[in-house]
Amino acid sequence: MSDLTERARELDATHAHTDRRSQFRIPEDVIYLDGNSLGALSTVAAETAADVVSRQWGEQLIRAWNESDWWGAPERVGDRIGTLVGAAPGQVVVTDSTSVNLFKVVVAASRMRPGRSTVLTDPDSFPTDLYITRSAADLLGLTVELVPVAEAADRIAELGSSLALASYSHVDYRTGELWDLEELTRAAHEVGALACWDLCHSAGVVPVGLDDGGADFAVGCGYKYLSGGPGAPSFVYVAQRHLADFDSPLTGWQGHASPFAMSRDYEPAASITRARVGTAPLISLLTLEAALTAFDGLDLQEVRRRSLSLTGFFLEGLGALGVDLPLATPREDERRGSQVSLRHPEAYAVVQALIARGVIGDFREPDIVRLGFAPLYLSHADALAAAEHVAAVLRDKEYERPEFRTRAAVT
């Protein structure tokens, strides 16, 4: 292990230019491997939340809509996220939740492809994607087909002109497998269909390349790798070429072309603003904006290299320690997001035993030990220490202790 310890030091030195650990508040005795579920709190985000409450709300009161530009925040923060997901300005807005934004996209996409009867999505998608897609399809009289990503291109070709939308996750939330956005988008376009991508597990850690990849739509949340805080609002991307035709099913006043005209008739804004609905949760939205400053001065390609180095080194450490659990996450760099998922029949208890040791990950049904590596604040030393803790939990069968088998409400 001394060789690995030295390699950890060397790798941390190599990737020092992407280290933002000092900007985050993480307890010293914690190795936080759940940033793919809830990102760690940044100092500037905490300070901004306090400022929004005490100064902007407390002193400016309603004047803050103008004086602190609360009104323009959804588009302003949207453009900031756009730089991380490869979207030119004017195509991303921060608003609502991932579920609500996906509903908008499924309905709007189907309206843009009248006469087409099918929406394609992954049976292994995060459940809300499945629920929302089916709900929207039921309202529209569409058929939802569940087809794994690996089989999607062939099925798209078979469906041809009956396909309205292919809607997939860029990174599988359970396994961490990274899918080829450009390839699948191209397959959809070849039959005249549209493509939507869920970026919840790739925004901030993978150079998504929405514009370059030809994506039509995308949705994603602000509280995972972007560290916007619990319940931080989501974002939606509508490619510039589709904005004029994006007919949102939720026509709230803040998506209106002239919201303060208080017209009885709805006229959508010409810009990405048309994807807004109601009043944004400003404390959360501005906290997210502050958290995004952690990416200032960083090249996302370099962040990606750090991410791959961390997950690859963790896997190397597990191997050196004799941990031979089945791996759900691909080993190939080009197929791996920023997490490592291990399979174990007592996965929930394994995760609880790790948490008791200060290594915080999470469990996903049915047997996944899911460990997320947020590259901005994790080191290779952390990765090696986490591997040592995993080995100890398995070697000493700590997961068999009764207190680790009792399920909490949130797993």
What is the mean pLDDT of the segment spanning 312-335?
Answer: 97
DSSP letter for each residue of 339-358: EEEEE-TTHHHHHHHHHHTT
Residue type, 252: G
Asked if 370 is an active-site residue, the reply is yes
pLDDT-based confidence at residue 2 (cuts at 50, 70, 90): confident
104 counts as catalytic:
no
User: Which pTM does this prediction carry?
Assistant: 0.97
Q: 387-398 pLDDT, tens per residue?
A: 999 999 999 999
| DSSP for residue 246 | -
Q: Name the CA dihedral angle for 81, 82, 86, 89, rounded to a multiple of 10 degrees.
A: -160
Mean pLDDT of 140-146: 98
118-144: average pLDDT: 97
Out of 24, 103, 173, 223, the active site residue is: 223
Give bridge partners of residue 144 from the DSSP assignment. Answer: 119
Is 126 among the catalytic positions?
Answer: yes
Residue of 24, 126, 217, 404 with catalytic role: 126
Q: Is residue 97's pLDDT more than 90? A: yes
Give the active site residue among 12, 79, 96, 198.
198
